[in-house]
Amino acid sequence: MRQIDKEKFYKELNSLIGEYTVYAPVGDRVKKIKDTKEIKFEGLLTRFPAKEHMLPQNEELFRWNRDKKIEVKIPDTKAIIFGIRPCDARAIASLDPTFNTEKFPDPYYINRRKNTIIISIGCNNPDDTCFCTSFGSGPFDPTGSDLLVVDTGEKFLGIGKEKILDMFGFEEGNDGGEFEALKKKAEGKIERINLAGIKDKLDSLKETDFFKKISYKCINCGACTFLCPTCYCFDIEDMERIDGGKRVRIWDSCMFTIYTQETSGHNPRKQEERRMRQRIMHKFSYYPFLYDIFGCVGCGRCISYCPVNFDIRNVLKTIGGMDE
Amino acid sequence: MIENIRREAEKILKEGVVDLVIGFEEGTIPLKSTPVFIEKPEEAQKLVWNSFCENNLAVYINRFKDKKVGIVANGCCSRAIVNLIIEGQIKREDVYIIGVPCEGMLDRRKMLREGKTEKDVDESYLYTNCRYCGHRNPVIYDYLAGEKLEEHSAQYPDIKEMESLTEEERWQKFSEEVNRCIRCYACRQACPMCYCEVCFVDVNNPKWLEGGVTEADVGYWNLGRAYHLAGRCVDCGACERACPMEIKILNLTRKLNKDVKELYNYEPGIDINEKPVLGEFTYEDKEDFIR
Amino acid sequence: MCKEFEPKIAAFLCNWCSYAGADLAGVSRLQYPPYTRVIRVPCSGRINPFYIMRGLYEGIDGIWVSGCHPGDCHYQTGNYYARRRFALIKNLLEFIGIKKERIQFSWVSASEGGKFAEVATKVSNEVKKVGPVEKLVREKRIYD
Amino acid sequence: MNNPYLPIEAEVKMARFESDDHSLKTIDLTPVNGDIFDFIPGQFCELSILGKGEAPFGIASSPYEDFFRFTINRAGLVTTELHHLEEGDKIGLRGPLGNGYPVHLFKKKNIVIVSGGFAFTTLRSLIKYLLKNRTEFDKITLVYGSRRPDLLLYRDELEEWEKSGNIEMYITIDKEVQGWKKYVGFVPTVLKEVHPSPDNAYLVMCGPPAMVKFTIPVIEELGFPPDKVFTSLERRMKCGFGKCGRCNIGPYYVCKDGPVFSMEQLKNLPREY
């Protein structure tokens, strides 16, 4: 397996700053860095997912001047996202089928995605709230990352695209089974939830009071959806100033009443249980139906940061335990 | 005390006094209790009470408009209920309050950061508002599950400290905090007093506030939210605990509470028969700031 | 070229007293700086404290609310309620570090043309002295 | 790459109020650069006023006309702004979006059109399309109702069609009004009276939720199979092409996979409409 000295890797990464915009974990967010010394890992996952660099919370679609002449700027900066976890990388990949469609491709997202190299770092020590193995993935899954590095103390083991490995100068070498050992150890710590047939089970539950019962607890804030690395829903808003204006897309959340509120006053998802159903079904029924992947990567952020400790694992377990 | 809560919950469910009891059960993550909704008497054994029951359960009452609700309420929860009654949101006879004297909740995130566990329950981890709490006993209740605690009057040393800073320092502190805001509105949703059908940020005509996350936008949102709670905030701290970004937003409402107390000698949510402080006035109100 | 700073001041004047006071100041040819933009409102009790925050948000350098003297309110009690609201919002904004000069309140009756001009001058000078507002202001222009 | 968020500039060629109370306004638009793009009746466009926002509206003109027609009910921020438009004004236009009515299925079939209120817009487009290719279709029946006579859309055209004899028309209003010579009564009741045969026929329905709710049992009673009944849905929309996520019903997006659904499809979806 190809490997590199950590020090050398960081030096290489440092030299790429300038040519690339480099984002890396700084405390609880993935931020743009000017030097690799700024990188600060705090806990396993950054509190805020890296999706903000693919789909910013506020993104200008176009702007216009006083004469209403429209100007568009499609992002074209080359970027590297380093240090996110494999689940976050897979989460970004899971946005592709939504935004990179044949008929209405989203140029902003596609360009960003095309110009970004994602380097994730394997989780030697997963959290209690992790449940990525339930999705057939794991703490060392390179899917979605251009390069996955595994920290062995002094070295980084690298799996990924040849081109990227060469870019950093990963050398051929023998890891002495360390990768497999780390992988086994990490995966052993993660709770696996049985998701077999979850889509059909959910579909059969959609008109029952199952969702009403579980939605009692939820206070309908947007914490889970804003911190979720796979949630992408947005709102489009115009911002007007004296010298023109801009149309901006802004993250939105299916947990808000206003999300589906129509001008007439009619709201198809006024009830809390319907919004809860939307969130869970979107991730575990609609997404598999449409794109054959789950809309969840098991990062556990929604569990750790939920104000009322709404635990999606329990919901999945309850459904999984049901007979069809 | 837990035994008393369970027994009473079971009793009122069995006797049909209430349709459901809102309380806390053990959570699924460390140092967290989570709201639970008990509908069958035998489930009452799930109920717990500990130093990690940090949500304000009064936020759920409005959701069960057609039901009679039993609720496990500590000081601030009962004050929120009083406020909801004053503001005409619920009726006193529709809630059955199982009062719980409360010694304060612990800052779980601080404890986790320092690697503490449930055994390390210690007063030094109390949330700021709990440390200076003025109403540890429920102000109204139908049943009291434990011995009443000694009351101290509410203190605001944290606010006084901030007031003593210079203007620039105060702004620095404020902007440092709110700049982390992601506008997920967890503070609003966790607050029992934020029950508006349509929040001011959701109104698009007139549009009070744009959807951005610049300092101005998040500052305005946080100030606006706090001001809407002027003279209504029961200082339960649910907003700050709900914040996924750990923003110290309680500062603002505590400042308003302190002013309301100092200027108009009013504390929100104490007496059902009192009028809200901004719906009242006296001829002698202070006006030294007016030219 | 360095132009002198000319503050923008939004003056919310109550229709029955302060607005008439402003009128009287004008009729009496009293001089005061030209920075105030008058917004006539039915009563000082009509002022939603959000107007004050919104003013700052839009980049107004000073906000001045003026109503009838206590006891003179056309609607009997409007300014009493307003007084409580203003006290709280002023304290809150000061608490987070907004300069106290930016938020101004006054009672000016219909007959106090002189006082109106005097307060307008004071408010203008004070706001001018503290300079343009920077805190809580949203992006003012799209094209810089 | 085509940027689907970008509106094209369109000029208002005609603007008039439809109803006496000025709650409905019809505007005709033509693109400033280029021609009318091709579309299928039942598709919609996003009209956008820079600085105010966007809102989706069904296209009321047919692909054979040299303008896009929209009829707008004044309700919120954008629609109010659209009501202020006059001839010569320029606005943004994005489209065509959505799937449209499955006109290819309708060949050599009887077509029953049921509509209520100002939901008639896209059906005008459909009728225009059917009339243009009249020989390809069999009998066309229209049941159209509204609260008051002045709320009926495109009244002069309705009369024209009636005179031409190409369509069997049943126009109804909810309550008796002096001088009204046509039907009085709610759409479901009239539809029952008309009693169209389900043989070799398709039914297209578009109307307010209340009408749809009470018409569905009548349609079932008449014997139309669910896969031959089509209806056009309405939801809050932003992007219009299945990205922003708010308009889904089950896994389908009303903006992308709809707005026209068959009753068969809707049967299996969560009841969120």
Chain C residues whose beta carbon lies within 8 Å of the beta carbon of residue A242: 140-141
Segment C9-35 mean pLDDT: 94
> What predicted TM-score, i.e. pTM, was given to this entire model?
0.92
> Is D45 assigned a ligand-binding role in the annotation?
no
On whether the CB atoms of residues A104 and D241 are closer than 8 A, the answer is yes
Q: Concatenated DSSP letters for chain B? A: -HHHHHHHHHHHHHTTS-SEEEEEEE-SSTT-EEEEEE-SGGGGGG-B--TT--S-GGGGGGGGTTS-EEEEE-HHHHHHHHHHHHTTSS-GGGEEEEE------B-HHHHHHTT--GGG--GGGB-HHHHT-S--S-SS-SEE-SPPPPP-----HHHHHHHTS-HHHHHHHHHHHHTT-----HHHHH-TT---SS-TTT--SS--S-S--SHHHHHHHHHHHHHHTTTT-----HHHHH-TT----HHHHHHHHHHHHHHH---TTS-TTSPPGGG---TT---TTB-
Q: Which residue has the tokens 């300069």?
A: C99
Where a domain ends, among A189, A214, A238?
A189
Domain match, A273 and A301 both:
yes
Domain match, A165 and A206 both:
no
Q: Is the pLDDT of residue D184 over 90?
A: no
CA dist B2 and B9 (Å) reads 11
Q: How confident is the model at residue D212 (pLDDT cuts 50, 70, 90)?
A: confident
Domain match, A46 and A143 both:
yes
Domain match, A26 and A145 both:
yes
Report the pLDDT value the prediction gives residue D273, as an integer from 0 to 100.
65
Where a domain ends, among A189, A224, A257?
A189
Order the strands of the A70-71 sheet from edge to edge: A70-71, A58-64, A244-251, A234-241
Domain count, chain B: 1
Domain match, A271 and A157 both:
no
Report the pLDDT value the prediction gives residue B222, as an integer from 0 to 100.
94
Quick check: A233 and D53 CB within 8 A? no
Domain match, A158 and A251 both:
no
On whether the CB atoms of residues B234 and B76 are closer than 8 A, the answer is yes
Domain that holds residue A216: 198-320
Report the pLDDT value the prediction gives residue C6, as an integer from 0 to 100.
92
Chain A residues whose beta carbon lies within 8 Å of the beta carbon of residue C139: 241
Q: Which residue of B has its CA nearest to A227?
A: B244
Q: How confident is the model at residue C54 (pLDDT cuts 50, 70, 90)?
A: very high
Domain match, A132 and A19 both:
yes
> Is D255 assigned a ligand-binding role in the annotation?
yes
pLDDT tens for D32-42 read 988 888 899 99
Residue B273 near chain D (CB below 8 Å): no
Domains and CATH numbers, chain C: 9-130 (3.40.50)
Does some domain include residue B14?
yes
Q: How confident is the model at residue D235 (pLDDT cuts 50, 70, 90)?
A: confident
Does some domain include residue B290?
no
Residue B198 near chain D (CB below 8 Å): no
Domain match, A273 and A206 both:
yes
Instruction: Return mean pLDDT, chain D.
Output: 88
CA dist B263 and B286 (Å) reads 7
Angle at A33 between CA B214 and CA A100, to 5 degrees: 70
Among D3, D234, D270, beta carbon nearest to A206 = D270
Report the pLDDT value the prediction gives residue A324, as an integer from 0 to 100.
53
Q: Which residue of C has its CA nearest to A246?
A: C142
Q: How confident is the model at residue B70 (pLDDT cuts 50, 70, 90)?
A: very high
Q: Is the pLDDT of residue D76 over 80?
A: yes
Does some domain include residue B232?
yes
Does some domain include residue B198?
yes
Report the pLDDT value the prediction gives residue D156, as an integer from 0 to 100.
86
Tens of pLDDT along chain A (324 residues) come to 888 998 999 999 999 999 999 999 998 899 999 998 999 988 889 999 999 999 999 999 999 999 888 999 999 999 999 989 999 999 999 999 999 988 899 999 999 999 999 999 999 999 889 999 998 888 998 888 999 999 888 888 889 998 889 888 888 888 888 888 898 899 888 988 888 888 888 888 888 888 888 999 999 999 999 999 999 999 999 999 989 999 999 999 999 999 998 888 888 888 888 999 999 999 999 999 999 999 999 999 999 999 999 999 999 988 887 765
Q: Phi first, then psi: what are they for A80, rounded to 5°?
A: -125, 130
Segment D162-189 mean pLDDT: 86
Report the pLDDT value the prediction gives residue C1, as an integer from 0 to 100.
52
Domains and CATH numbers, chain D: 8-97 (2.40.30.10), 103-232 (3.40.50.80)
Distance in Å, alpha carbon of D264 to nearest chain A alpha carbon: 17
Domain count, chain A: 2
Domain match, A54 and A133 both:
yes
Q: Say if the ipTM goes beyond 0.95.
A: no
Half-sphere exposure of C125 (CA within 13 A, CB side): 7
On whether the CB atoms of residues B170 and C95 are closer than 8 A, the answer is yes
Does some domain include residue B286?
no
Q: Can you give B185-216 as a three-state secondary structure string?
A: CHHHHHCCCCCCCCCCCCCCCCCCCCCCCCHH
Domain that holds residue B205: 2-279
Q: How confident is the model at residue D1 (pLDDT cuts 50, 70, 90)?
A: low
Domain match, A152 and A299 both:
no
